Amino acid sequence: MALDQKFVLVVDDEPDILHVIKQSLEVEVGIGQVYAFTRPLLALEHFKLNYNSCAIVLSDMRMPGMTGFEFIKRIKQIDPTTKVLLMSAFEIDDTELSMALGSIMIDDFVQKPVSPRQLTSIIQRHIVSNVGNYYNTSI
């Protein structure tokens, strides 16, 4: 399936942040569609129905109802090969993040605030890479 037929799934409980991310990715990334959700359970249902067409998942870490960790764990239960990025506005050190993640594998951690250009670059890097899931602390 070509990249232009795949979608990016974005989950963040802040509508304003979600809108900026969605707009930036739709304009900058050559991917067919960006699906944005403020509610993790709805995003999870969408993923369950369409996971074969998902290029990457981007999730906020702290959300009401379901944390980003829980959300990513459920995504990985559906499709362990899905590339996932976790983002947060809160300071989190590498040790704390590694311990909290346990067996959940993420492809990157994005510290907010992040510019739309920076986020687009990170997502594009992971979409085109053929590297398996890993946690990259280079950001």
State the CATH number of the domain containing residue 120.
Answer: 3.40.50.2300
Confidence of residue 27 (pLDDT cuts 50, 70, 90): confident
Task: Identify whether 137 is part of a domain.
Answer: no
In-domain check, residue 5: no
Decide if 68 is inside a domain. yes
Residue 117 placed within a domain = yes
On the question of pLDDT at 3 being above 50, the answer is yes
In a domain, 43, yes or no: yes
Q: In the predicted model, what is the mean pLDDT of residues 8-14? A: 96
In contact, 40 and 28? CB cutoff 8 Å: no
Domain residues for the domain of 89 are 10-128
Number of domains in the chain: 1
Closest by CA position to 87, among listed 103, 71, 76: 71
Residue 2 lies in a domain: no
Q: How far apart are CA 31 and CA 136, in angstroms?
A: 23
Name residues whose C-beta falls within 8 Å of residue 82's C-beta, 6 or more positions apart in sequence.
Answer: 51, 54, 56, 57, 75, 76
Question: Of the ranges 17-21, 40-44, 56-60, 97-101, which one carries the lowest mean pLDDT score?
Answer: 97-101
Better pLDDT: 31 or 52:
52
In angstroms, rounded to a whole number, what is the distance separating the alpha carbons of residues 33 and 4?
8
Asked if residue 3 is part of any domain, the answer here is no
Please state the rounded mean pLDDT for residues 107-129.
Answer: 85
Residue at 106 is within a domain: yes
